[in-house]
A and B are shown apart, each in its own frame.
Chain A
Amino acid sequence: MQKLWLIISREYGSRVRKRSFILTTILTPLGFLLLFSISIFASMSAVSKEKTIWVADEANLLNQADGALSSSANLNLIPAPKVGIDSLQRLLAKAEDSPIDALLHIPKTSVQNRENLSNLLTIQLALYGREPLSASTQSILRQRLSRRLIKERRKLLGINLKDLERAELKGSDLHFNQLNVAGEEETAASAQVYLASFLGGGMMMLIYMVILIYGNMVMRSVMEEKTSRIVEIVISSVKPFQLMLGKIIGVGAVGLTQFLIWGLTIPTLQLILSLFVALPAASSSPLPSGSGLDEDQMLMIMDNLEGFSQFNYSYLMSCFLAFFLLGYTLYASIFAAIGAAMGDDWGEGQSLTIIVTIPVVAAMLIGLQAIENPHGSLVEYASYVPFFAPVIMPARLAFDPPLWQLGLSLGILFLSAIAMIWLSGRIYRIGILLYGKQPSVKQFFYWMFKF
């Protein structure tokens, strides 16, 4: 046990202290931070400078509505000073001397009569600033105006506003009542299905990446020991199986560490960043400025957030972790055996990795199916194939697969992982001492099953 522990801590320690590990571990969250900030600043830069706009509202479109003239973080709407209703020229001249960016003139004719509703409506926007208004500022203005205009038009057409509101549908008002074959109600709401795909897809991708990245790391580590010939010295002190196991556990722990660090830092950085960005904005407006969201979209988001809280996260996480660990073990031991079996020629040996890549990629393809149709028969049967299960089952997890299916899949995977470690151990202990030519497939089987 003590030797195994020594091997694990060497594998772990030497990797964690590697410059490449430290760099990727630090740079990845920073990269996320950068991406996140770029996307925020890109959207903010469009409305970054506060624009002050005078509103000469002859039609009383904005003035009379509550809040329509309120200012948000980057847009400052002020009623133009009264200089006499008819003297737009004088107002323009006065505006020229004032520190404003634009003058919005809403002519009296904007609120039309029934007959000319379809006419093009032009609203004059006189610019005094150096730059034209950005697209997002324009869109805010347009939204406010159009909302008011629609209201006016409804009035004009005699549509009862109360009735209209009652007739409208909000995002959450439409509910599909899905019945399965047995006539029982399937409870998943559309938003939740969407979220489940999102969660499942994420977990599947993560395991897919872990298997390939860290499996490869195990393989390289085995090859390194073999080609540098240190392995013969090490196994004159420990059993080859111990060495292999220590390697798999050590590298796996490195992977877990990295994910833990990312899992903690990325959301934290995101939170800090969003606080910085959101605080000033939130003080003036409940909606992120310039996001262009209308009420319905907001409701949809609220719905989604509600949907997120409907998952049983501790259950999801523990299932995910089980598949993560078993899947990694299964594949890492195959990678270890391949590393041991390779000849001294790295390039030649690399072709052997196809043995592993094919099932992982196949699992990924079926997993994509699983997100579309989590209870399909292909997906279900593939969940029992140990090489596919670690990728496919996490994709299905958020869709609440039947417990017995989950158990069966996990059970088969568990037994296969144990068997694979054992078989790989047999290839490993012979392979690492064999220099020169790459062994044939026939020899592999001989090593695995010869007693």
Chain B
Amino acid sequence: MDSSLLKLEGVYKQYAGHTAVNDLSFELSRGQIFGLLGPNGAGKSSLIRMICAITKADKGQIFFDGKLVGPKTQRKIGYMPEERGLYKKMRVSEQIMYLARLKGLSKKEAKKRMTAWLQRFDIEDWKKKRIEELSKGMQQKIQFIVTVIHEPELLILDEPFSGLDPLNSQIIREEIYRLKEEGSTILFSTHRMEQVEQICEQILLINKGEKLFLGKVAEVKERFKKNEFLIQTQGPAANDFAHTFELLDQGEDWLKVRLQETQTSAELFAAVVDAGLPIRRFEEVLPSLQEIFIEMVQE
């Protein structure tokens, strides 16, 4: 079996004279958590809509499990849009049943899974409530249930944590990990890059519809690191040793230093020890995805 679940080839999409996605190609292998990153308006949502077969690509092709995306592949995808939405007047159970059955579940199966999910989130008592009577956090849980109830192979979450309180945020995070363990592939889309640094194994950075970077988080960080080190000391941090190194910044009990290409971290560490500074912390400063992104865009 092909390990790639999703494959995009030269996908291109234009809206009323503005190019939303420009010649984008990438592959997404099974069983991973994948981050689709970019600022607002980068083309993330447009791309997702094409993957979900909601809109069609103007050029290029999208394959899901080796088949062109279309009504048949829609059943295997669970999509939670950035703009959340539920029928406000509908009751919780009706809502879940309706959306589950649209995904092709039988009445019996949908009911069984709904009960299981409501139990898992401990909200069985809310079954008969109308959506408009629920709190925002409660609605988010229902939203999540309708996204995953048909056990999709690919779970697409557009800004999944926006508007979530820390508690719900944690619950959803745990569920995402659990679904991944059970074999689902998860595609995250967000402009809040710090959120995915810890979660995603692979990321695709896009801007203005074009690919900036595709790969592992560690890889991109490695590529964009600037050989900067942070030294935190116990007590005041003297900078006597620093004449051979480039001192970037300094606080009461810390120093930030940049190494030249010829210098190594071992040399720096030795120099700090030689200077007799009591070390509390010694670490390489890696750029955040946000900083990397800004640097890439400026390039």
A443 contacts partner chain B, Cβ-Cβ < 8 Å: yes
Q: Are A6 and B49 in contact (CB under 8 A)?
A: no
Q: Would you call B77 and A236 a contact (CB within 8 A)?
A: yes
Q: State whether the Cβ of A33 lies closer than 8 Å to any Cβ in chain B.
A: no
Does B84 contact A6, Cβ atoms closer than 8 Å? Answer: no
Contact B88 A233 (CB under 8 A): no
Q: Which residues does chain B contribute within 8 Å of A234, judged by CB atoms?
A: 99, 102
Interchain CB contact under 8 A, B52 and A236: yes
In the complex, A231 Cα to B84 Cα: how many Å?
A: 10
Q: B85's contact among A6, A232, A433, by CB below 8 Å, is which?
A: A232
Residue B101 at the chain A interface, CB threshold 8 Å? yes
B79 within 8 A of A: yes
User: Among B71, B94, B99, which residue has its beta carbon within 8 angstroms of that of A233?
Assistant: B99
CA distance A229 to B53 in the complex (A): 17
Q: Are A443 and B16 in contact (CB under 8 A)?
A: yes
For residues 131 through 161 of chain B, which have their beta carbon under 8 Å from a beta carbon of chain A? 146-147
- Beyond A6-B101, A236-B54, A239-B71, is A229–B83 a contact (Cβ under 8 Å)? yes
The interface bits of chain A over 221-237 (1 if a CB of B lies within 8 angstroms of the residue's CB, else 0) are: 00001001111111111
User: Which secondary structure dominates chain B's binding surface?
Assistant: loop
* A residues apposed to B, CB below 8 Å: 3, 6-7, 10, 14, 225, 228-239, 433, 435, 443, 446
Verify A433–B54 contact, CB threshold 8 A: yes
Distance, CA A228 to CA B95, complexed state (A): 14
* Residue on B nearest A430 in the bound complex, by CB: B55
**B233 close to A (CB within 8 Å):** no
Chain B, residue nearest A234 (CB): B102
Q: Quick one: which of B90, B102, B147 contacts A6, CB cutoff 8 A?
A: B102
A443 nearest CB neighbor, chain B only: B16
Contact in complex: A14, B89 (CB < 8 Å) = yes
A-B interface contact total, Cβ < 8 Å: 61
B81 interface residue (CB < 8 Å to A): yes
- Residue ID in chain A nearest B103 by CB atoms: A237
Query: Within 8 Å of chain A (Cβ to Cβ): is B87?
Result: yes
Instruction: Kindly state the separation between the CA atoms of A380 and B112 in the bound complex, as whole angstroms.
Output: 60
B250 proximal to A (CB < 8 A): no
| Complex Cα–Cα for A433 and B52 (A) | 13
Q: Is the CB of A236 within 8 A of B74?
A: yes
- Let me know if B54 and A230 touch, CB within 8 A: no
The answer on a CB contact under 8 Å between A232 and B102 is no
A228/B86 in contact, CB under 8 A:
yes
Residues of the A chain whose Cβ atoms lie less than 8 Å from the Cβ of B54: 232, 235-236, 433
> How many of B's residues come within 8 Å of A, CB to CB?
29
Q: Say yes or no for B245: interface residue by CB 8 A criterion.
A: no
Known: A236-B74, A239-B71. 11 other contacts (CB 8 A): A6-B101, A229-B84, A232-B49, A232-B81, A235-B54, A236-B53, A236-B54, A236-B77, A237-B103, A433-B54, A443-B16
Chain A residues contacting B98 (CB-CB under 8 Å) are 6, 10
Q: Which of A6, A229, A233, A443 contacts B79 (CB 8 A)?
A: A233
Give bound CA distance, A233 to B157, whole Å. 12
How far, in Å, is B196 (CB) from chain A's closest CB? 22
Please give me the 10 A-B residue pairs with the lowest Cβ-Cβ distance, nearest first.
A229-B85, A230-B85, A237-B102, A229-B83, A232-B81, A236-B79, A236-B52, A228-B85, A237-B103, A235-B54
Residue interface bits B52-82, CB-to-A below 8 A is 1, else 0: 1111000000000000000100110101110
Contacts of A3 in B (CB 8 A): 102
Chain A residue at smallest Cβ distance from B52: A236
CA distance A3 to B98 in the complex (A): 10
Complex interface residues of chain B between 152 and 207 (CB less than 8 A to chain A): none
User: B residues within 8 A CB of A10?
Assistant: 98
For residue B75, which residues in chain A have a CB less than 8 angstroms away from its CB?
237
Q: Which residue of B lies closest to A434 (CB)?
A: B15
Question: Do residues A232 and B90 form an inter-chain contact, with CB atoms below 8 A?
Answer: no
A-B contact pairs, 22 of them (CB 8 A): A3-B102, A6-B98, A14-B87, A14-B89, A14-B90, A225-B87, A228-B87, A229-B81, A229-B83, A230-B85, A230-B87, A232-B49, A232-B79, A232-B83, A233-B80, A233-B81, A233-B99, A233-B146, A234-B102, A236-B74, A236-B79, A237-B102
* CB-based nearest B residue for A231: B85
CB atoms of B79 and A433 under 8 A apart: no
Q: Which residue of B lies closest to A240 (CB)?
A: B54
User: Is the CB–CB distance between B86 and A230 below 8 Å?
Assistant: yes
A236 to B54, CA, bound (A): 6
CB B139 to nearest CB in A, in angstroms, measures 11
| A237 partner residues in chain B, CB cutoff 8 A | 74-75, 99, 102-103
Which B residues lie within 8 Å of A6 (CB)?
A: 98, 101-102
Please report the C-alpha to C-alpha distance between residue A237 and residue B75 in the assembled complex, in whole angstroms.
7
**Which residue from chain A places its CB closest to the CB of B146 in the assembled complex?**
A233
Q: A235 to B52, alpha carbons, bound, how many Å?
A: 9
**A447 → chain B, closest Cβ, in Å?**
10
Q: B46's closest neighbor in chain A, by CB? A: A433
Q: List B contacts of A14 (CB < 8 A).
A: 87, 89-90, 94
B278 to chain A, nearest CB (A): 56
Residues in A neighbouring B80, C-beta threshold 8 A? 233
Q: Which residue of A lies closest to B77 (CB)?
A: A236
